[in-house]
């Protein structure tokens, strides 16, 4: 298994540009999520999905869109990049148990380091 | 929202020392995870705890549900243990809440 993969690893954008961060997992996990990690702050949830066709907002959703057309893929779209979105982005996945988040391991992708100028 | 606090923020140790990292949270939880983030940025899960104690190699994790506190211990520390250690709580089937991490440097 490849686990959770993310592309690209690094990206530089200009203010106002749009882009999509890709995330895929091959573990058939229902739950997928996007986090951002900023210096001095813990990982913060942007958006999450409990299955294909179902997405919801996390703690810091503004400026980001997601979709979940398949179990495997969960792309994160930046609509109009801003310097405040400079961050490291992590995608993660885990299983659901009976409709609730399992307390089992959460698997993280390698991260995407995004800089917005 | 569940507040998660870790201490210390930064820790430097000599190789071979016994290390303790602490995590406190404000609201009752269903589980607590300890994660390790390597200097290259990748995050891996070390432990999941809902009660008691777990051991894996030189790593030991404990949790006291009544006191809302967990500790991660590293015995006989080694330079390869240098990483950021992150505590995360799961709030009764809901989202994860993360601490800000403890940056550990082990000097040979």
Q: From the candidates A42, A44, A47, A59, which should be mutated to test the interface with B, based on the most B CB atoms within 10 A?
A: A42
User: Do the bridges between strand A10-13 and strand A31-37 make them parallel or antiparallel, or are there none, so unpaired?
Assistant: unpaired
What is the β-pairing status of strands A112-116 and A10-13? parallel
* B75 Cα distance to chain centroid: 14
- Mean of the per-residue pLDDT values of chain B: 91
Q: For chain A, what is the total number of helices (H) and then of strands (E)?
A: 0, 13
Burial of A63 (0-12, 13-18, 19+ CB in 10 A): middle
Q: Do B90 and A101 touch (CB under 8 A)?
A: yes
Cis peptide before B8 (omega within 30 of 0): yes
C-alpha B5, offset from chain centre: 11
Using CA atoms, how far apart are residues A100 and A102, in angstroms rounded to an integer? Answer: 6
Question: Residues of B with CB below 8 A from A103's CB?
Answer: 30-31, 48, 50, 90
Bridge partners, residue A116, by sequence: A13
Q: What is the mean pLDDT of residues A106-110?
A: 93
Are A67 and A56 in contact by the 8 Å Cβ rule? The answer is no
User: From the candidates B2, B43, B88, B94, which should be mutated to test the interface with A, based on the most A CB atoms within 10 A?
Assistant: B43
The DSSP bridge partners found for residue B53 are B62
Q: Residue A47: is the preceding peptide bond cis (ω within 30°)? A: no
Check whether B2 has a pLDDT greater than 80.
no
Chain B's closest residue to A112, CA to CA, is: B41
User: How far is it, in rounded angstroms, from Cα A79 to Cα A57?
Assistant: 16
Q: How far apart are CA B58 and CA B73, in angstroms?
A: 8
> Which one is predicted more confidently, A16 or A41?
A16
B7-50: pLDDT as tens digits: 999 999 999 999 999 999 988 887 899 999 988 778 999 988 88
8 Å CB contact of B48 and A103: yes
Q: How confident is the model at residue B6 (pLDDT cuts 50, 70, 90)?
A: very high
Give yes or no for B96 touching A (CB within 8 A).
yes
Least confident of A26-40, A94-108, B43-57: A94-108
Tokens 């890709």 sit at which residue?
A22
């Amino acid at each position: 298994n490849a686990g959770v993969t993310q592309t690209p690893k690094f990206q530089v954008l200009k203010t106002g540009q749009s882009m999509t961060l890709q995330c895929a997992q091959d573990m058939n996990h229902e739950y997928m999520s996007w986090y951002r990690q900023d210096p001095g702050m813990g990982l913060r949830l942007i958006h999450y999905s409990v299955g294909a066709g179902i997405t919801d907002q996390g703690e810091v959703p503004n400026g980001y869109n997601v979709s979940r057309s398949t179990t495997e893929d969960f792309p994160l779209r930046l609509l109009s990049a801003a310097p405040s979105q400079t961050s490291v982005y992590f995608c993660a996945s885990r299983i659901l148990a009976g409709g609730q988040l399992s307390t089992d391991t959460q698997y993280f992708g390698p991260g995407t380091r995004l800089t917005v100028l | 929202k569940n507040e998660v606090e870790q201490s210390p923020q930064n820790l430097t140790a000599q190789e071979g020392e016994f290390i303790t990292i602490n995590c406190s949270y404000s609201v009752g939880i269903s589980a607590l995870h300890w994660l390790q983030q390597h200097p290259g940025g990748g995050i891996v899960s070390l432990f999941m705890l809902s009660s008691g104690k777990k051991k894996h190699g030189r790593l030991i994790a404990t949790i006291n549900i009544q006191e809302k506190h967990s500790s991660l211990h590293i015995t006989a520390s080694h330079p390869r243990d240098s990483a950021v250690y992150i505590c995360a709580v799961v709030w009764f089937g809901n989202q994860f809440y993360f601490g800000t991490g403890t940056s550990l440097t082990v000097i040979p």
